[in-house]
Amino acid sequence: MRNEVRSTGATRFVVSKLVLYIALLAAALITLLPFIWMLSSSFKGAEAIRTLPIRWIPERPTLEGYTRMFRMTSFSFPRATVNSLILSIGWTAVSVTAAAMAAFVFAKVPFRGSTKLFGIYLTTMMIPGTVTMVPNYIVLRQLGMLDSYTGLILPSLANAFGVFLMRQAILTVNDAYLESAMLDGASLYRVFLQIVLPMVMPTLATMTLLSFMSAWNSYLWPLIVLSSTEKQTLQVVLGNMNSMYKNNEHVLMAGAVLTILPILLVYLLSQRHVDQGISIGGLK
């Protein structure tokens, strides 16, 4: 009898796991279908995309979409890519550095009113980013920083979510490490750079990935701040291409494929830290 019960329980467990895996596989396939279609369409001609029934594998693969994209006269796709890299790298460096330093102060440097100040700082997370674009634009106009990468990156100094994420991770660092280092004569800056940051590296990698993705995919803010064609970012150029090549979907798909490649590269480099960093950051 016991063997039968165990066998029935084991069978139910296997069946439940099998159903779960099938459901996850179906969800993954549904999620990947648009990306597979985008990649397939980028190697098709204009007419092949509209062919019915749908052909996922192109019969006659062509690089026409990619060549036409790089031969645009109104915009320079390589230049737009460089502009997006400048924005993303600068935005990520400023955002992560400022958030890590502020989080260290809130977590490990006690001062009067720190808890209330941190709470007030977190309330800014409830304000949509689109609401702050107009006042930020007015400030940049008064400072004469419009149509510049400096003005484009400057708002990244205030990153409430980044401060919260890093603070939660730094709180897990034992104070004994900091006290021992300071007793040995280490300055506060050295403690921050050589002790705290290496111990919260997973969260730091997560923060870097999220900041890079946010900056790379930014469309509205660069569109508002930048007016020079040679300074426009990749997302703005792709938006303009949407009206220029509305009947040439293969060109748009080729641009979209190249646009997501840097995001995939950054994610692959930091992926092993991301899950652990989010869990440490208090978002598990």
- Per-residue model confidence as pLDDT tens digits over 10-53: 677 778 888 889 999 999 889 888 888 888 888 887 776 777 77
- Pair 191, 225 in one domain: yes
**Distance of alpha carbon 61 from alpha carbon 39, whole angstroms:** 11
Helices (H) and strands (E) in the chain, counts: 15, 0
pLDDT of residue 4: 57
Residues 148-155: contacts with CB within 8 Å, 24+ apart? 148/225, 149/86, 149/87, 149/90, 149/231, 151/225, 152/87, 152/91, 152/221, 152/222, 152/225, 152/226, 153/87, 153/90, 153/91, 153/94, 155/221
- Same domain assignment for residues 103 and 237: yes
> Rounded mean pLDDT of 144-164?
91
Given a cut of 80, whether residue 94 has pLDDT beyond it is: yes
Residue range of the domain that includes 205? 77-280
Single residue among 41, 65, 89 that ends a domain in this structure: 65
Are residues 27 and 98 part of one domain? no
Say whether both 29 and 120 belong to one domain.
Answer: no
pLDDT classification of 282: cutoffs 50, 70, 90:
very low
- How many domains does the chain fold into? 2
Average pLDDT, the chain: 84
Predicted pLDDT at 283: 44
Bond from prior residue into 135 cis (ω within 30 degrees of 0): no
- Residue 83 and residue 10 share a domain: no
Q: How far apart are CA 65 and CA 259, in angstroms?
A: 14
Q: What is the pLDDT of residues 195-254, one digit of tens each?
A: 999 889 888 888 888 899 899 999 999 999 998 888 999 999 888 887 777 777 778 888
The pLDDT value given to residue 85: 92
pLDDT: which is higher, 128 or 107: 107
133 and 257 share one domain: yes
152 and 128 fall within a common domain: yes
pLDDT value of residue 284 = 42
Instruction: Give the whole-angstrom CA distance, residue 76 versus residue 261.
Output: 18
pTM of this prediction? 0.82
Both tokens of 2, joined, read 């016991």
Q: Is 212 exposed, middle or buried (0-12, 13-18, 19+ CB in 10 A)?
A: buried
Residue 71 lies in a domain: no
Same domain, 24 and 156: no
In this structure, the answer to whether residues 18 and 113 fall within a common structural domain is no
In terms of domains, do 50 and 128 share one? no
Residue 145 lies in a domain: yes
Q: Does residue 172 lie in a domain region?
A: yes
Residues 193, 145: one domain?
yes
Residue 70 lies in a domain: no
CATH classification at residue 114 = 1.10.3720.10
